[in-house]
Amino acid sequence: MSLFAELTSGVNAVRPGRTALPAFDRPLLAATLMLTLFGLLMVYSASIALADGPRYESYGRYYFVIRHALFIVVGVVLAMFTATVPLRVWQKLAVPLFALAIFLLMVVLIPGIGREVNGARRWLPLGIINFQPSELMKVAMVLYAADYTVRKQQHLHTFIRGFLPMAVALGLVGVLLLMEPDLGAFMVIVAIAVGILFIGGINGKLFSALLGIMVSSFLLLIWLSPWRRERLFVYLDPWNPDNAYGSAYQLSHSLIALGRGEWFGVGLGSSVEKLHYLPEAHTDFIVAVIGEELGFVGVAALILTFGFVVWRSFNIGRQASAMDRLFSGVVAQGVALWFGVQAFINIGVVLGLLPTKGLTLPLVSYGGSGIVMNLVAFALLLRVDFENRQMMRGKRT
């Protein structure tokens, strides 16, 4: 029986007297569905008042929540398809998919093709929607880095054949993303690739060198970009009047929202900061609205749920690796790294622990390409778990 059939039927045929082994990790699926539906609710709450302002007055009060719901539906459909494809097929598609993602990152930079918003060229207009190739690259990097780790297993301790090809690939992706510019996406993609190489067993000295190069590049990039450097310094003192009404405006209002929420929040739908005070309340700073409306308890529950998803994902990956399914195991742990790192950066920014960076919260924030690719990545994770359980039953996948 396929994973799709198992998901839709919910029936597991077992011999009398034997303990039933579920076809998939039900608590993990439940936690992910909770995050997705909770995100839909909070997008509705955070965006309901946007139509009252001049920027979105022609959109309608339910514009964002309806679009978000439609993107979730598209994501679920693509996730169901993804979950029916065996991991051995995804391994064969890893390099072509990575090449496609590189190509789209190039296309988006072509004037007249890529859509430019606020000085950034990150979107490909596809009729009524805009597609963000950097989100596809996150999925592609998970598969490519996992396949690379398997193919280069014997050479991961060498510089020329183990370290250099991945460094070149990351450098190419980095150049394209920084031309958009999209430093946030590049940070997540680097974390995925470097984390997978570390899990795959790359030489410690080479890993340290790669990590050192990436950190140095980030610091140099920030120092050479006046507006990025300004963001770093205002984050250290957001309450300075010059900063609070300038580059730290978003951060200061995020902290105000969290402060208003206290322990239990002001109540669902009762946020004041979402009323045109806090920019991007339904996307990058949705956690601030959650904190204001549901308080410390709501934010803590959100963090714990993400922690559970990441923990279970790593367990699924370790289980696959223990059964000599290295590619599957690394894919699962790559998805865990993706969700964990991106959630950490997003929540850290909102709480004022990290400099402001435009990254959405996986499965929760508004965003078409983001939510679709998040659900596709989760389907890959679910497929790894399904194949693990099939092998435990003595079946071939």
pLDDT at 14: 46
Q: Which of 103-107, 154-158, 219-223 has the highest mean pLDDT?
A: 103-107
- pLDDT (tens digit, 9 = 90+) per residue, 283-293? 999 999 999 99
Tally of CB atoms within 10 A around 88: 12
Q: Percentage of residues in the chain with pLDDT exceeding 70?
A: 90
Q: Which of 16-20, 110-114, 240-244 has the highest mean pLDDT?
A: 110-114
Q: Which of 55-64, 85-94, 202-211 has the highest mean pLDDT?
A: 85-94
- Averaged pLDDT for residues 54-58: 77
Please answer whether residues 375 and 79 qualify as being in contact, where contact means their C-beta atoms are separated by less than 8 angstroms: yes
Compare 38 and 225 and report the one with higher pLDDT: 38
Nearest to 296 by CA among 345, 261, 347, 344: 261
pLDDT at 174: 87
Q: Which of 150-154, 183-187, 340-344, 393-397 has the highest mean pLDDT?
A: 340-344
- Averaged pLDDT for residues 251-255: 90
- Averaged pLDDT for residues 237-252: 77
- pLDDT (tens digit, 9 = 90+) per residue, 165-180? 888 898 899 889 888 8
Q: Percentage of residues in the chain with pLDDT exceeding 90?
A: 52
The mean pLDDT value of the chain amounts to 86
pLDDT at 215: 74
- Averaged pLDDT for residues 262-289: 92
- pLDDT (tens digit, 9 = 90+) per residue, 6-44? 555 544 444 444 556 677 789 999 999 999 999 999 999
> Is the backbone peptide bond immediately before 181 cis, with ω within 30 degrees of 0?
yes
Q: In the 3-class helix/strand/coil scheme, how is the chain assigned residue by residue?
A: CCHHHHHHHCCCCCCCCCCCCCCCCHHHHHHHHHHHHHHHHHHHHHHCCHHHCCCCCCCCCCHHHHHHHHHHHHHHHHHHHHHHCCHHHHHHHHHHHHHHHHHHHHHCCCCCCCEEECCEEEEEEECCEEECHHHHHHHHHHHHHHHHHHHCHHHCCCHHHHHHHHHHHHHHHHHHHHHCCCHHHHHHHHHHHHHHHHHHCCCHHHHHHHHHHHHHHHHHHHHHCHHHHHHHHHHHCCCCHHHHCCCCHHHHHHHHHHHHHCCCCCCCCCCCCCCCCCCCCCCCCHHHHHHHHHHHHHHHHHHHHHHHHHHHHHHHHHHHHHCCCHHHHHHHHHHHHHHHHHHHHHHHHHCCCCCCCCCCCCCCCCCHHHHHHHHHHHHHHHHHHHHHHHHHCCCCC
pLDDT at 5: 60
pLDDT at 202 over 90: no
Written as one letter, the residue type at 380 is L
Written as one letter, the residue type at 62 is Y
pLDDT at 11: 45
pLDDT at 4: 57
- Ranges 85-94, 102-111, 224-233, 291-300: which has the least confidence: 224-233
What are the tokens at 124? 């490909």
> How far is 51 from 60, CA to CA, in rounded Å?
5
* Residues 6+ away with beta carbon under 8 Å from 285: 250, 254, 278, 279, 350
